[in-house]
């Protein structure tokens, strides 16, 4: 099992450009999450999904959109990138409602110039 994978690993965008980050998991997990991690601020939840076809907002959803068309994939979109979105983005998944352990992907380092 690959666990949780993320593509791409690194990306540099110019202000105003758009991009999609892909997260895939092969553990048949119901829940998936997108976090951003900035220096000294820990992980902040952007959006999450409790099942295929569902999404919900987290702490810092502005400027991002998500989709979960297939159970194994969770996409994070930036429609018009801003320098404030420079961060490391982590995707995570967990099995279900009673689960507490989240499995994290390796992260995507995004720089917006």
Partner 1 sequence: GQSLEQPSEVTAVEGAIVQINCTYQTSGFYGLSWYQQHDGGAPTFLSYNALDGLEETGRFSSFLSRSDSYGYLLLQELQMKDSASYFCAVRTGGFKTIFGAGTRLFVKA
Contact residues for partner 1, defined by CB under 8 A: 31, 33, 35, 40-45, 48, 50, 56, 58-59, 90, 92, 97, 100-107
Instruction: Closer to partner 1 by CB, 47 or 75: give it.
Output: 47
Least distance to partner 1, CB of residue 53, Å: 15
Least distance to partner 1, CB of residue 30, Å: 10
Instruction: Closer to partner 1 by CB, 19 or 60: give it.
Output: 60
Least distance to partner 1, CB of residue 101, Å: 4
Q: Which residues contact 36 (CB under 8 A, 6 or more apart)?
A: 43, 44, 46, 60, 85, 87, 88, 89, 90
Instruction: Closer to partner 1 by CB, 26 or 79: give it.
Output: 26
76 closest CA partner among 2, 3, 8 = 8
For 16, phi then psi, to 5°, come to 95, -15
């Amino acid at each position: 099992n690959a666990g949780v994978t993320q593509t791409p690993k690194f990306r540099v965008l110019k202000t105003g450009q758009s991009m999609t980050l892909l997260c895939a998991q092969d553990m048949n997990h119901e829940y998936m999450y997108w976090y951003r991690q900035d220096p000294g601020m820990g992980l902040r939840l952007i959006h999450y999904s409790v099942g295929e076809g569902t999404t919900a907002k987290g702490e810092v959803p502005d400027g991002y959109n998500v989709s979960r068309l297939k159970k194994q994939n969770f996409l994070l979109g930036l429609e018009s990138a801003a320098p404030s979105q420079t961060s490391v983005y982590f995707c995570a998944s967990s099995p279900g409602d009673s689960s507490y352990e989240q499995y994290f992907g390796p992260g995507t380092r995004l720089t917006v110039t």
